[in-house]
Structure 1
């Protein structure tokens, strides 16, 4: 089940809840009982090399050989 991060606007605490994706936007009370919360945007990193260019193929200073 996905975990979502929320921040309480009343006390400033950040907390996580595990809930179904269908309920990700539903209101969530903070652990202290405050109702004024907002869901935080989570940055998810997905790795993979299927479409990555081979190392040293150019582009940028460190990959393109422009560094002395």
Structure 2
């Protein structure tokens, strides 16, 4: 289940909630009990490297030699 980060406008506390994507924009109550919260935009970093592209054939026949 995705985790979303929220900030309380009343006390400034930042907190996370695990909830379904369909509920990500629903109101959230901070741990202290305040209702004036806003969902924060989370940056997701994805690492890794892509595999090199497969070589493609050349020439007029997809890599063969047409004479």
Q: Is TM more than 0.5 here?
A: yes
Q: RMSD over aligned Cα, in angstroms?
A: 1.4
Structure 2, unmatched stretches of 5+, are 53-67
- Secondary structure at 1:22's aligned position in 2? helix
Q: Distance in 2 between matches of 1:24 and 1:51?
A: 34
Deviations 1:20-53 (A, max 9, x none): 000000000101110000000101001131168x
Deviation at 1:10, TM superposition (A): 0.1
Runs of 4+ in 1 over 3 A off after TM superposition: none
**Structure index of larger Rg:** 2
Instruction: Write the distance in 2 (CA, Å) between the matches of 1:49 and 1:32.
Output: 42
State the TM-score, normalizing by the size of structure 2. Answer: 0.72
How far residue 11 of structure 1 moved from its aligned partner, in angstroms, is 0.3
Q: What 5-or-longer segments of structure 1 have no aligned partner?
A: 53-68
Provide the residue aligned with 2:7 in structure 1.
Answer: 7
Task: Name the structure where helix makes up a greater proportion of residues.
Answer: 1
Asked if 1:46 corresponds to 2:54, the answer is no
